[in-house]
Homo-oligomer: A and B are copies of this chain.
Amino acid sequence: MATPAALPLSPAVRKFIVHWGEMGSSWGVNRTVAQIHALLYIAPRPLTAEEIAGTLSIARSNVSTSLRELQGWGIVRVAHVLGDRRDYFESMRDVWEMFRIILEERKRREVDPTLSVLRECVATIEKTRPADPEAKRRLGDLLEFMETMDSAYREFRMLSITDLRRFLKLRGGVRKVASLILSR
């Protein structure tokens, strides 16, 4: 009863795909989308939509939509094979780069809008009389926190992947930094 185009997957790979799907769910990513991503990431070559559908037992149309979303995130792209009219899909392979892209995208879609909302709220409260000092303070704190995070992120973003990697891999590095920069 297996769909014709199903790829053979080892148990380990199967397990990984399933887990990645669940992980996705709890991070607000559709399970199927995450599974497709996992499959493409681990596959040794680009796959057709048909193969993906067969392998994961999901409808062809569902694959189409999900692939579109993954392309929207910029971590999957189409490739072509000479003499073959079908679209082949492949995932970005560099994990660090992928991480960077996803982070950037989530910031853009979620953090940035929150920052504007917070700014608007604070502004509105300030215009109100009598201003509600409690609420103003709380929203202000939150806004300040997010702005600090935001600019710290912008700074880290400027590092090359290689430097970022080296930095994060330093053992005891953080403590060194702390004593170097923070003590005065």
Chain A residues with CB under 8 Å of chain B are: 10-13, 15-16, 19, 23, 25-28, 41-42, 44, 93, 95-96, 99, 109-110, 113-114, 117-118, 120-122, 124-125, 128, 132, 134-135, 138-139, 141-142, 145, 148-149, 151-152, 155-156, 158-159, 163, 165-178, 180-182
Instruction: Give the docked Cα–Cα distance between A59 and B168 (Å).
Output: 46
Determine the chain B residues whose CB is within 8 A of the CB of A178 once the complex forms: 159, 163, 167
Does A110 contact B15, Cβ atoms closer than 8 Å? no
Q: Could you list 9 A-B pairs, sorted by A, with CB under 8 Å?
A: A11-B124, A13-B125, A16-B139, A27-B110, A42-B135, A42-B138, A95-B141, A96-B145, A167-B178
Residue in B142, B159, B171, B174 whose beta carbon sits within 8 Å of that of A159 in the complex: B174
Instruction: Give the docked Cα–Cα distance between A138 and B26 (Å).
Output: 23
